[in-house]
Chain A
Amino acid sequence: MAHAISQAGHHHGHDHDHEHEHESLKTFGFWIFLITDCILFGSLFATYVVLHQNTNGGPTAEELFKMPGIIAETFILLTSSFTSGLAVLGMHKGNMKQLIGWLIITVLLGASFVGLELNEFIHMVNHEGASISTSAFLSAFFTLVGTHGLHVSVGLIWMIGLVIQLRRRGITTVTKRKVAVISLYWHFLDVVWIFVFSVVYLMGVM
Chain B
Amino acid sequence: MSQSHTNSHNHESHGSLKSYIIGFALSILLTIVPLVAVMNHMLGKTGTIVIILVTAVLQFVVQLFFFMHLKEGENARWNMMALIFGLIILLTIVAGSIWIMTYNSVVH
Binding site for B on A (CB under 8 A): 3, 12-13, 16-17, 20, 24-25, 27-28, 31-32, 35-36, 38-39, 42-43, 45-47, 49-50, 67, 71, 74-75, 78-79, 81-82, 85-86, 88-89, 92, 176, 180, 183-184, 187-188, 190-191, 194-195, 197-199, 202-203, 205-206
Contact = CB atoms under 8 A, between A and B. Distances in A.
Contacts of B93: 39, 42-43, 46
Given A45-B94, A198-B56, A184 B11 contact: no
Q: Interface residues of B: mostly helix, strand, loop or mixed?
A: helix
B20 A46 contact: no
Interface residues of B, number: 53
Contacts of B16: 89
Given A39-B90, A50-B98, A195 B73 contact: no
B72 to A, nearest CB: 12
Given A35-B86, A42-B90, 9 more contacts: A20-B9, A42-B89, A46-B97, A75-B28, A82-B67, A85-B24, A187-B67, A202-B38, A202-B52
B82 to A, nearest CB: 5
Interface string B8-35: 0111011111001001100110010011
